[in-house]
Amino acid sequence: MHLARFPRRQYTHGYTPIEPLPNLTKHLGGPNLFVKRDDLLGLAAGGNKTRKLEFLVADALEKGADTLITVGAPQSNHCRLTLAAAVKEGLKCQLVLEERVPDSYDENASGNNMLFRLLGVEKIKVFKTGIDLQAEMQSLADDLAKVGRKAYIIPGGGSNKIGCLGYTGCAEEILAQCNQMQLKLDHIVCSSGSGGTHAGLAVGLSGNNANIPLTGISTRGAKIALEEKYHGLASETAEMLGIRGGIPREMFNIFDGYVGDGYSLPTDGMIEAVQLFARHEGILLDPVYTGKTAAGLIDLIRKNHFKQGENVLFVHTGGSPALFAYQETILSNVTG
């Protein structure tokens, strides 16, 4: 795959590390655990959306945009990073926030919400869940057009076929690192949220005939609906890249039993996972995505889904600023 034919900005210099997790591996007594540190990607506090934004913002600039508009939840990592990319490029940024949990937006909240203000967001509009968010973003774009400005709308999570190129490239990066490290991976585990990360990885792994199973842990939706959605997104991306034969449906194996009561709502498994990664490896997870994904990984290890001696890579998609909006929950009943 020749990704260089697509316009791209560079917000991270070099590869993010793949690190072993020996202490957590020993504690859990299961497979050999490794982590892909995409929490160390560029822009403000990093995270997986940086990879997607390298392609999306390049497309926006090529189209002459002066403003980025996107959507997310009140503690959205994607909104934080889109805003940071806008600042870096000298663009304005406006955000549409969806209260997926009723009354969850607090103008003075910590975490990503505080960073929206620090980074200088131009406008924030907050809506209850169920609103046509695409229409609201288009309304903002239309208002800007009336005063001679040009907006570029980025979908939630940056998850369209352009954004997926970021994790298609990440899959190639992982394979190059594994070759260098002489590391044979048996499984890759990632968060399954808006879909661009999972779909992009599937395209990159399939396009390179990697034959590494990819497991997703849902942070919001139901298994079958997500698998179908991601397969469709991956197929669009593969077509754009000229990959023949499509993307195998089996690349989309998602476990949806770790969402709990709903998106962004804490679970005991998430709290344990955040504490274990911090106490055993000094790595910060977030409460919405990586914490629940790690909870799924840990539970699957305990259920012998992954076997001793296998090498399992956890893709850390970042998001740690959100921890500070959940500190009372995360620090309750701290265990080793």
Which residues belong to the active site?
76
Q: Which residue has the tokens 């590391």?
A: 183
Phi, psi of 187 (to 5 degrees): -155, 150
Say if residues 153 and 69 touch (Cβ distance below 8 Å).
yes
Q: Residue ranges of the alpha helices (H) in the chain?
A: 22-28, 49-62, 77-89, 112-118, 133-146, 161-181, 196-207, 223-241, 268-281, 290-302, 327-330
Cα 124 to Cα 42: distance, rounded to the nearest angstrom: 24
Residue 71's H or E segment, with its range, is strand 67-72
In DSSP terms, 123 is beta-bridged to 94
Cα 172 to Cα 207: distance, rounded to the nearest angstrom: 9
The contacts of residue 168 (CB under 8 Å, 6+ apart) are 1, 3, 200, 201, 203, 204, 207, 237, 241
Say if residues 197 and 319 touch (Cβ distance below 8 Å).
no
For residue 124, the 8-state DSSP code is E
Cα 40 to Cα 61: distance, rounded to the nearest angstrom: 25
End-to-end CA distance of the chain, in Å?
44
Residue 97's H or E segment, with its range, is strand 92-99
